[in-house]
Structure 1
Amino acid sequence: MTIFDPSRTWFADDDQAALVVIFNHSRPHARGPVFVCLPAMGVAASFYTPFAEALAQAAKGVAVLTDLRGQGQSEALARRGARFGYQEIVAQDIPSLTASIAAQFPGRPIYLVGHSLGGQLGSLAAAHMAPGLAGLILVASGTAHYRVWPKALRWRAGIAVRAVRTVAALLPWYPGRLLGFGGDQPRRLMADWSYNASTGRYRCAGSRIDYEEALNDIVLPVLSVEIRADPVAPTGATTELLAKLASCAIERRQIDGVTADAPWRRHFSWARSPDEVVAEIVAWVRPQLRRVNVECLERAVA
C-alpha cells in the first residue's frame, strides 16, 4: 500500500480486478459516511476524481473510487483474454471491496454510489450485502432496456442493442473503444448487458440467483439523482430500475447537469462539475446520519 498524500491511498485487490483510490476528508468525523463510487461502463474511476474530492469534503467523510473489473487501471482486460460478466462484479468484487472498506473504517455508514451501469451493478450487489449498507445512491442510472426509451428514439435504441449483441457474440471480445460505446468488454459481460437491454430483466450468467426477486427483497434507503432530458438514462429507464427495488424507501431528485453541454454529454459531465449532485447527496444523507447518531446515543444510555 503506497500513500501519496494524507487524503489518498491507492491499493489493488488480490486478483487485480480493480484499482481503488480513497479520498479522506482532512478532518473527518468519527462517524462520517463512506461512499463507495462505481463508474459507468467503459469509464475509468479517475474520471470521477472531482466528484469524489467534492463529496468527501462536503460530507466530511470518505469517498472511494474503484475501477470496475476490466476498466481503467484494472489488469483483467478483455483484449488479454479475461472472461467475466456481471456475476463476478456483483457477487465478488463489490462485496469484497466493501468489506475491506468497512474493516478500514469501522462503525461508519457505507453508501454505494453508482453512475449509469455502476448504479445497476451496485443495485445487484446490494442483494448480496444490503445489511452492511446504509443506503444506495444512483446517479443518472436506469436499466438499459430499449423499450422504455422515448418513443422517438426507441427504434434506434432497438437497432443499437441488436448490433451490440451481434458484435459481442461474433468477436473474441466486444471492441467498445473502437465502436465508441462501453469500452472493451468480455463477451459474457456484454451478454448480460444485452439481456437486460432486450428484456428489461436482470440475469447474471453463471448464477443461480433470481436477481429480479433478489432486487425486490432489498430493504434500503435509495436516492436517485436524475439529469433532466438525459438521453442515455431517460426517465423511463430510471423508473424501471427503481420499480425493481420495491421494498426500498426511494427518493427521486432531478438536476440540470452541465447545461452548456449537449444532452448526451450531460450524462457524464456532471462528474467533472459535481456541485449539484454532491448537494443532493449531502442533503439526503445528513438526516439519516442524525437519526443513526441519535439511535447510537439511545443505545449507549440504555
Structure 2
Amino acid sequence: MTIFDPSGTLFADDDEVTLVVIFNHSRPGASAPVFVCLPAMGVAASFYAPFAEALAQAAGGAAVLADLRGQGESAALARHGARFGYQEIVAQDIPSLLASIATQFPGRPIYLVGHSLGGQLGSLAAVHSAPGLAGLILVASGTAHYRAWPKALRWRAGVAVQAIRLVAALLPWYPGRLLGFGGDQPRRLMADWSYNACTGRYRCAGSRIDYEEALNDIALPVLSVEIRDDPVAPTGAATELLAKLASCTIERRQIDGVTADAPWRRHFSWARSPDEVVAEITSWVRAQSRRTDVEYLEQAVV
C-alpha cells in the first residue's frame, strides 16, 4: 500500500496494491471526520478528486481516495496476470487501508464511503472493520442482482449479466476497457461479481465467512445517497443491498445528479460536480456527531 498526500509526501509504503491520496482541510479539529472513499468498478480513484476536495473542505476534515486492487495506479493488473477476487479486497486491502488511516489520524471518526461497486465492497469490508468505523456511506450503490432492476429492464439486465459472466469465464481476464463496462478485471473477481449479479447473494471465493449472515450482524449508521432514475444502481438494487444491513441504522436520501447528462452518465458525473452529494453527506455526518454527543452526555449523567 502506498499513501500520498496531494503534494506527494509519502506516508507509508508496503505492497504497492493501493495508491491513496489524502485531501486534508487546512486546519482540521481533533475530532474532524476522515472519509475513506472507494471508487466504482473500473474507475480510477483520481476521478473523484473534485469530490474528495469538496468533501474535506465542507466537513472541515480529511478525505482519502483509494484505488481498488487492479484499478487506477495499482500494479496488480489483470492483463499482467494478477489473480484476485473480492476476498483479497474486502478482507485484506480495505482493512489494511483503514488501519493505516487510523494510525495517521488517531482518534478521528472514520467514515467509509463507497460508490457503486465500491459501496458493495465497503459493506463487505465492514464485516472485518466495523468497530473502527463511525459509519458507512453508500453513493449510487446497490447490488448487481439483475432481478433488482425495474421489470421493464430486467430481461436486458439478465442478458447482459449472462454475457459478461460468459466472457469473463472464457477469456484469460475480463476485458472491460474494451467492452466499455467495469474495466479490466481478473476472472475470479468477475466470478464473485457474477454470483451476486445472478443470485443477489454475496460469496467471496476462498473465504469460509458467510457474508450474508455477517452483513446482517453489522451495526453501523448508514447513509445511502441515491440518484433518481439511475439505470446502473436503481432504487430496487439499493433496497436489496440495504436490506442485508438489517442491524444498521439506515437513512436514505435521493438527489437529481447532473441533470444535463444522460441517466447512465449521472451514475458517475456527480463525482465531478459533487455539491449535492457533499451537502447530503456533511449534513448527515453532523447529525451523527450531534447524536453521539447527546448519547455521551446521557451516559455521563447516568
Q: Where does the alignment leave 5 or more consecutive residues of structure 1 unmatched?
A: none
What residue is the counterpart of 2:168 in the other structure?
168
Cα drift, residue 10 of structure 1: 5.3
Cα drift, residue 300 of structure 1: 8.6
Q: Distance in 1 between matches of 2:215 and 2:116?
A: 17
Cα drift, residue 234 of structure 1: 0.4
Q: Which secondary structure state, in structure 2, belongs to the residue aligned with residue 232 of structure 1?
A: coil
Q: Which secondary structure state, in structure 2, belongs to the residue aligned with residue 113 of structure 1?
A: strand
Contact 2:112 2:135 survives alignment (8 Å): yes
Q: Distance in 2 between matches of 1:199 and 1:133?
A: 29
Q: TM-score, normalised by structure 2?
A: 0.95
Contact 2:4 2:21 survives alignment (8 Å): no
Cα drift, residue 152 of structure 1: 1.2
What residue is the counterpart of 1:113 in the other structure?
113
Q: TM-score, normalised by structure 1?
A: 0.95
Cα drift, residue 290 of structure 1: 2.8
What residue is the counterpart of 1:207 in the other structure?
207
The change in CA–CA distance for 1:155 and 1:11 in structure 2 (over 3 A counts) is farther
Cα drift, residue 151 of structure 1: 1.0
The change in CA–CA distance for 1:257 and 1:271 in structure 2 (over 3 A counts) is same
Cα drift, residue 202 of structure 1: 0.1
Q: Which secondary structure state, in structure 2, belongs to the residue aligned with residue 42 of structure 1?
A: coil
1:241 aligns with 2:241: yes
Q: Which secondary structure state, in structure 2, belongs to the residue aligned with residue 192 of structure 1?
A: helix
Contact 1:127 1:214 survives alignment (8 Å): yes
The change in CA–CA distance for 1:131 and 1:167 in structure 2 (over 3 A counts) is same
Cα drift, residue 46 of structure 1: 0.2
Contact 1:10 1:21 survives alignment (8 Å): no
Q: Distance in 2 between matches of 1:129 and 1:2?
A: 22
What residue is the counterpart of 2:125 in the other structure?
125
Moved over 3 A (4+): 1-5, 8-13, 291-302
1:72 aligns with 2:72: yes
Q: Where does the alignment leave 5 or more consecutive residues of structure 2 unmatched?
A: none
Q: Which secondary structure state, in structure 1, belongs to the residue aligned with residue 112 of structure 2?
A: strand
What residue is the counterpart of 2:142 in the other structure?
142
Cα deviation, 1:38-78, whole Å, max 9, x if unaligned, reads 00000000000000000000000000000000000000000
Cα deviation, 1:212-248, whole Å, max 9, x if unaligned, reads 0000000000000000000000000000000000000
Cα drift, residue 19 of structure 1: 0.3
Contact 2:139 2:226 survives alignment (8 Å): yes
Contact 2:5 2:23 survives alignment (8 Å): no
Cα drift, residue 292 of structure 1: 3.4
Cα drift, residue 29 of structure 1: 1.2
Q: Distance in 2 between matches of 1:104 and 1:252?
A: 31
What residue is the counterpart of 1:217 in the other structure?
217
The change in CA–CA distance for 1:286 and 1:144 in structure 2 (over 3 A counts) is same
Cα drift, residue 297 of structure 1: 7.1
Q: Which secondary structure state, in structure 1, belongs to the residue aligned with residue 76 of structure 2?
A: coil
What residue is the counterpart of 1:16 in the other structure?
16
Q: Distance in 2 between matches of 1:232 and 1:221?
A: 24
Contact 1:38 1:67 survives alignment (8 Å): yes
Cα drift, residue 294 of structure 1: 5.4
Cα deviation, 1:230-288, whole Å, max 9, x if unaligned, reads 00000000000000000000000000000000001000000000000000000100022
Q: Distance in 2 between matches of 1:98 and 1:128?
A: 10
The change in CA–CA distance for 1:74 and 1:15 in structure 2 (over 3 A counts) is same
What residue is the counterpart of 1:195 in the other structure?
195
The change in CA–CA distance for 1:257 and 1:2 in structure 2 (over 3 A counts) is closer
Q: Which secondary structure state, in structure 2, belongs to the residue aligned with residue 144 of structure 1?
A: coil
Contact 2:224 2:253 survives alignment (8 Å): yes
Q: Distance in 1 between matches of 2:10 and 2:43?
A: 18
Counterpart residue identity of residue 199, structure 2: T
Cα drift, residue 298 of structure 1: 7.8
What residue is the counterpart of 1:263 in the other structure?
263
The change in CA–CA distance for 1:39 and 1:3 in structure 2 (over 3 A counts) is closer
Indicate the percent of aligned positions where both proteins have the same amino acid. Answer: 86
Q: Distance in 2 between matches of 1:35 and 1:10?
A: 19
Cα deviation, 1:177-226, whole Å, max 9, x if unaligned, reads 00000000000000000000000000000000000000000000000000
Contact 1:11 1:20 survives alignment (8 Å): no
The change in CA–CA distance for 1:283 and 1:139 in structure 2 (over 3 A counts) is same
Cα drift, residue 148 of structure 1: 1.0
